[in-house]
Amino acid sequence: MAKVVFKNATRIYPGTERPAVDNLNIEINDGEFLVLVGPSGCGKSTSLRMLAGLEPIDGGQVFIGERDVTHLAPKDRDIAMVFQNYALYPHMTVADNMGFALKIAGKPKDEIRKRVEDAAKLLDLMEYLDRKPKALSGGQRQRVAMGRAIVREPQVFLMDEPLSNLDAKLRVQTRTQIASLQRRLGVTTVYVTHDQVEAMTMGDRVAVMKDGVLQQIDSPQNLYDQPSNVFVAGFIGSPAMNLCSAYVRDSGVEVGGAQIAVSADILAEARSRGLTEVTIGFRPEDMQLGEGMAIAIEFVEVLGVDAYVYGTIETTHGQQNTVIRTDGRKPPKAGDTIRVNVKDGHIHVFDSNTGERLGK
Amino acid sequence: MSLAVKAAVADPDLLFFPWDTPLEEWPADLVVALPRGISRHIVRFVRIKGVIHAVKEIEEHYASREYELLLQLTDLGVPSVRATAVVSGRIDKNGEPLPAALITEHLEFSLPYRAVFSSTPRPDTAIRLLDALTLLFVRLHSIGFSWNDCSLSNTLFRRDAGAFAAYLVDAETGEMHPNLSNGQRQYDIETAILNVTGEMMDLQAGGKLPESVDPIPVGQSLKVRYERLWEFLSKPILLEFGDRAPLDNHIRQLNLLGFDVSGIEMKSLDADRQVVQVGAKVVDAGHHARRLIRLTGLDVEENQARRLLNDLDSYRATNGANEVEEVVAHRWVTEQFEAVVSAVPRDLAKKLEPAEIYHEVLEHRWFMSEREQRLIPIEEVIASYISEVLANKPDEATMFGSPSGLDDTMEIALIKD
């Protein structure tokens, strides 16, 4: 087990100007589960592949433990890539399916059996070790495939969208399994996904990337509560945070015909940056009915205990689509206009030029 | 969501398959029973306009991606299955979504490796399969395709005019890059070794692997095979002043690696210099003897035939690349083969059969030019061969058995690392 460090790591694909990964600096702690997340083309897979040795590193360094692995071949890095391609061998027992890579690596029989049994205990597969894969359920087969990576006892697990190929039900199931297994094993894990729900539910920390640049690396809670810029604010959370422009006033900001209180230091920071307008953000779940912003309702989606209200508010730049969550038992109706307040402390304010968060 | 078909030429028949039924439950009368490899997806074979197609259930994003990759590979001339269509937007009878389906044309006369092993469980079958796979692998890498899951299961094998060709059938994990880094190639090889060894271990567990084949060393040998072939094929050779020796040497090395010449491409740099690129293939037993007899009427042993054909191929590259093969072959027989054989004095002609004499003269030419570091005219080679080699041999024509059998013509490794 080891910590992993990206130090100013950069990858520029031949024939392109903009780096695919630009000066990446991340320290992943020993035993940590780090998720790299971002939209397609953000550099998350490239970063993982740089760590795996599948992409040359054009600038900076990558360390696994104390070793500088920047120029090492993939097989010398002591990592295990866990891909979605899990073919099990029908004539071999579950134990052999899990341990065959060790046999190829020339490990002694006793050691192979011990490692396979240790993994099988973790994976709840002990009683199946001498059976053929045919006798297993889909979920158990997935676990055998995971067992293959576990028995190799690598320093780091790398997983590149390992669940994207599964159907929705198996995906949620396997997600939970991988996360709990990783915690029991305590092996440093770097996991790539485009799905922010997956990122938020699995990672100890989540690194959000965009255009090859790390936007923020933080615990899921902090990413949600304190997004460091407009991109992270909009990317993390489902439904997404509402973002709109608002005027800077003496004691707050003004939008949708209402003033929203904002702390004095945020307002001071906005003024010191010479801003008369800012971008504000509020999550659908951080709203309550009151005397604040006016929302013209277009559509209401009732999901039982909650209802999502889709409507528009008037902003400095015209009408803006907005989603808020309300009580599903007493939902407002389409066509109505309601007034809502942002719950105390749940307004996010960003520099409308740079997108940066105001008031850390 | 409605059913959507993505295809270069969408056959209306495609729409009339039971897309609202999971592939696993398709009725038996619709499905063609063909051998299937190990797959993590449900795969079934069906007939469309009499042609057998494979249908694979897979998430839409992956289906489309693989479809595009297969089209690209076909365009680039890499042996791979042809993608026919992607059917997406499938919904079952309860309104629940079903995975998309990727449809590919079944490769006629091709066999999954399991079937190859169960029909011809000869020890060298494993080696032939690996050679064919290695060749495919090197070709894929040379166009910037990283497979990421190279295995025998993801390949189909076809005997093709005596050649043993491997075709890529599963591009699901593949990626196309402008070119591959060493790390990408190494990782791909490591994965291939693991997969191929695992598959052979599985054959062994099922009693289908010849006892003399040990999966671990055979699997590990993939790396060496790959690296030699990669180095060989990515290194064009330069010919100066019409000197054929480097080309002959190059082909010798290719043979030593277990491959044969599939084609020779030559470009002139200027009046005196040419760059030659040699393509490789894997052939089945007896292929050379059959080809030589067809081209020249010479009926000789397999290894002799291979040696003679190499000489013919390299002769053709330098003396008539644009002519019909049979015509050049005829000229080669008179100008090269018969010229050499008839130069041997009558009293010495009984010592060896003509094909073996020709083979040895070629060897001797190579030996002399290595020793003297110059291009040696054939007349000089023959004279030297007769006095230095042939005169000291016993008469084989009168001996029992066949001492000029295969062992004599086997070449020794000459690769300089």
**Please, what are the domains in chain B?**
4-106 (3.30.200), 111-233 (1.10.510.10), 235-342 (no CATH), 346-417 (no CATH)
* pLDDT in the model for residue A22: 96
How far does the CA of residue B92 sit from the closest CA of chain A (Å)? 14
Torsion angles phi and psi, residue A8, rounded to 5: 50, 35
Best CA proximity match to B53, nearest among B90, B21, B23: B23
* B413 pLDDT higher than 70: no
- Report how far residue A92's alpha carbon sits from residue B215's, in angstroms, rounded to the nearest whole number: 14
* pLDDT in the model for residue A84: 54
Q: How far is residue B139 CA from its own chain's centroid?
A: 10
The per-residue pLDDT for range A246-292, each reduced to its tens digit, is 999 998 999 988 899 999 999 999 999 999 999 999 999 999 998 89
| Opening angle at CA B215, ends A139 and B34, nearest 5 | 60
**Six-digit token string for B92:** 């079952």
For chain A, which residues lie within 8 Å of any Cβ of chain B, measuring from their own Cβ?
A: 13-15, 52-56, 73-75, 81, 83-92, 96, 100-101, 103-104, 164-165, 167
Torsion angles phi and psi, residue B94, rounded to 5: -95, 10
Q: Which residue has the higher pLDDT, B4 or B108?
A: B4
CB B320 within 8 Å of CB B327 = yes
For residue A266, give Cα distances in angstroms to A3, A251, A256. 37, 10, 20
How far does the CA of residue B213 sit from the closest CA of chain A (Å)? 15
How far does the CA of residue A56 sit from the closest CA of chain B (Å)? 7
Sheet strands side by side (includes B100-105)? B4-7, B83-88, B100-105, B51-58, B43-48, B31-32
Which of A72-86, A230-244, A338-352 shows the lowest mean pLDDT across its residues?
A72-86
Best CA proximity match to A223, nearest among A210, A207, A201, A238: A207
State whether residue B222 sits within 8 Å of chain A by CB: no
| Confidence band, pLDDT 50/70/90 cuts, at residue B121 | low
| Opening angle at CA A325, ends A321 and A327, nearest 5 | 140
The per-residue pLDDT for range A145-181, each reduced to its tens digit, is 888 888 988 999 999 887 776 777 778 888 888 888 8
* A331 pLDDT higher than 60: yes
* pLDDT in the model for residue B356: 81
Q: Spell out which residues of chain B touch residue A96, defining contact as CB-CB under 8 Å.
A: 201, 205
Nearest to A92 among B40, B201, B216 (CB): B201
CB pairs under 8 A between A and B: 88
* B398 pLDDT higher than 80: no
* A189 pLDDT higher than 90: yes
What kind and span of H or E run contains B116?
helix B113-119
Task: Decide the pairing of beta strands A33-37 and A188-193.
Answer: parallel
**Six-digit token string for A242:** 């509402």
Close Cβ partners of B391 (under 8 Å, ≥ 6 residues apart): B348
> Once rounded to an integer, what is the mean pLDDT over residues B86-105?
92
Q: Which residue has the higher pLDDT, B256 or B368?
A: B368
> Once rounded to an integer, what is the mean pLDDT over residues B261-275?
79
CB B317 within 8 Å of CB B266 = yes
| Confidence band, pLDDT 50/70/90 cuts, at residue B82 | very high
Q: Is A283 helix (H, G, I), strand (E, B) or coil?
A: coil
* B415 pLDDT higher than 60: no
| pLDDT over 70 percentage in chain B | 88
CB B18 within 8 Å of CB B93 = no
> Once rounded to an integer, what is the mean pLDDT over residues A128-144?
87
CB A190 within 8 Å of CB A48 = yes
CB A178 within 8 Å of CB A159 = yes
Nearest to B38 among A83, A89, A104 (CB): A89
Sheet strands side by side (includes A252-255)? A258-261, A252-255, A242-248, A277-282, A348-351
CB A94 within 8 Å of CB A132 = yes
What kind and span of H or E run contains A225?
helix A220-225
Q: Is B338 helix (H, G, I), strand (E, B) or coil?
A: helix
> Once rounded to an integer, what is the mean pLDDT over residues B188-209?
91
* pLDDT in the model for residue B402: 34
* pLDDT in the model for residue B245: 78
**Taking CB atoms and an 8 Å limit, are B187 and A54 in contact across chains?**
yes
> Once rounded to an integer, what is the mean pLDDT over residues B283-306?
76
* A321 pLDDT higher than 60: yes
How much is the mean pLDDT over chain A? 91
φ/ψ bin of A276: left (φ > 0), alpha (ψ from -120 to 50), beta (otherwise) = alpha
Q: Which range in A163-167, A226-230, B198-202 is most confidently predicted, on average pLDDT?
A: A226-230
State whether residue B190 sits within 8 Å of chain A by CB: yes
* B417 pLDDT higher than 70: no
Nearest to B178 among A14, A75, A87 (CB): A14
**Taking CB atoms and an 8 Å limit, are A56 and B205 in contact across chains?**
no
- Report how far residue B32's alpha carbon sits from residue B44's, in angstroms, rounded to the nearest whole number: 8
What kind and span of H or E run contains B4?
strand B4-7
Nearest to A91 among B59, B62, B205 (CB): B205
Which of B24, B201, B208 should one mutate to test binding to chain A, selecting the residue with the greatest count of A CBs within 10 A? B201
* pLDDT in the model for residue B199: 92
**Taking CB atoms and an 8 Å limit, are A73 and B186 in contact across chains?**
yes
Q: Spell out which residues of chain A touch residue B36, defining contact as CB-CB under 8 Å.
A: none
* pLDDT in the model for residue A164: 74
The per-residue pLDDT for range B324-334, each reduced to its tens digit, is 888 888 888 88
* A82 pLDDT higher than 90: no
The per-residue pLDDT for range B123-171, each reduced to its tens digit, is 677 777 888 899 899 889 988 899 988 999 889 888 655 557 889 998 8
**Taking CB atoms and an 8 Å limit, are B40 and A96 in contact across chains?**
no
* pLDDT in the model for residue B284: 61
